[in-house]
Amino acid sequence: EGWEWYLHQELDSTNAEAQRLLSVGGMRPLVCLAERQTAGRGRRGRVWQSPYGQNIYMTVVVPFDSGAQRLEGLSLMVGMVLVDTLEAAGYKGCRLKWPNDVLLEGAKLAGILVEVAGDLTAECAAVIGVGVNVLMTAPASEIDQAWTSLRLSGQGGSLDRNTMVADFVARLDAAMELFRVQGFAPFAQRWSEYDAWHGLEVKVTAGASVVEGLNRGVTERGALRLLTVDGEQQLSGGEVSLRLN
């Protein structure tokens, strides 16, 4: 209810288009989809392979009244909603790699990129980009880490992108009602069920620094709780990469 939908054959990036739509018409709930992205991106300007007609490239815009704090944990919550959507489509075993990737059998199936539009102290919006590999069996150029698609998983669930997109938006809409009032806290309680590497030794890289420790899950604000030799450290998202150790 209340969403504007924009469907494109081709865009540079669905997040970039959503940002343009907001800067022209103001903050409002909208969904922007493309069959292909010519400049699809992940975090830190990394490329998101986006071949034509095979995958989901979607941006969902959720307006907020104000407050950076209220966006904490949002990308984790979005990941949980995406895993629920995939499960409902017949795919078991999708798990999250904190803070923003969906893994299936250890390989990257989907990515989430949350950006902010507008002024955090005034009217703003979360620009939630989601890429899901659905039919892709060969990307245009090589992907430098293990990846998979719903088709390659061989699980035989639905491959209907339209149904998955509609279901995802409906689920996100419902989850946002809770998130707006209570933030990430109620979702944090169920994070471990979604966590690909819960209780495992992991290595976190942030620029030149590396922290190793046991993955203990997340705080109510979505920070990663890492048990290191020096005790527990809490890391928030941003420019951080997680690897199995």
Q: Which of 81, 82, 21 is nearest to 56 (CA)?
A: 82
Residue 167 and residue 82: Cα distance in Å, rounded?
9
Among 13, 15, 19, 49, binds ligand ATP (CB under 6 A): 49
Residue 95 in contact with ligand ATP, rule: CB under 6 A? no
Q: Closest distance between ligand ATP and the C-beta of residue 219, in Å? A: 20
Task: Identify the three-state secondary structure at position 105.
Answer: coil
Flag whether 222 is marked binding: no
Q: Are strands 94-97 and 101-104 parallel, antiparallel or unpaired?
A: antiparallel
Number of residues in contact with ligand ATP under rule CB under 6 A: 19
Residue 63 in contact with ligand ATP, rule: CB under 6 A? no
Residue 195 in contact with ligand ATP, rule: CB under 6 A? no
Q: Which of 43, 53, 100 is nearest to 75 (CA)?
A: 100
Residue 213 in contact with ligand ATP, rule: CB under 6 A? no
CB 213 within 8 A of CB 244: no
Catalytic residue among 70, 97, 108, 161: 108
Residue 145 in contact with ligand ATP, rule: CB under 6 A? yes
Q: Does the active-site annotation cover 221?
A: no
Which of the stretches 120-128, 138-146, 150-158, 191-199 binds ligand ATP when contact is defined by CB under 6 A?
138-146
Q: Closest distance between ligand ATP and the C-beta of residue 155, in Å? A: 17
Q: Which is nearer to ligand ATP, 121 or 141 (CB)?
A: 141
Flag whether 203 is marked binding: no
Residue 153 in contact with ligand ATP, rule: CB under 6 A? no
Flag whether 14 is marked binding: yes
Q: Which of 88, 100, 84, 108 is nearest to 43 (CA)?
A: 100
Residue 161 in contact with ligand ATP, rule: CB under 6 A? no
Q: Which of 75, 147, 143, 137 is nearest to 108 (CA)?
A: 147
Among 11, 35, 48, 61, binds ligand ATP (CB under 6 A): 48
Q: Which residue has the tokens 């830190």?
A: 44
Task: Identify the three-state secondary structure at position 244.
Answer: strand
Which of the stretches 12-20, 24-32, 43-51, 68-76 binds ligand ATP when contact is defined by CB under 6 A?
43-51
Q: What share of the chain is helix, strand, coil (3-state, %, to 5)?
A: 30, 35, 35
Residue 183 backbone class (left: φ over 0; alpha: ψ -120 to 50; beta: rest): left
Q: Closest distance between ligand ATP and the C-beta of residue 205, in Å? A: 8
Burial class (CB in 10 A: 0-12, 13-18, 19+), 227: middle
Active site residues: 43, 108, 243
Residues in touch with ligand ATP (CB under 6 A): 42-43, 46-49, 100-101, 108, 111, 131, 133, 139, 143-145, 147, 241-242
- Which residues participate in the annotated binding site for biotin? 13-15, 37, 41-43, 108
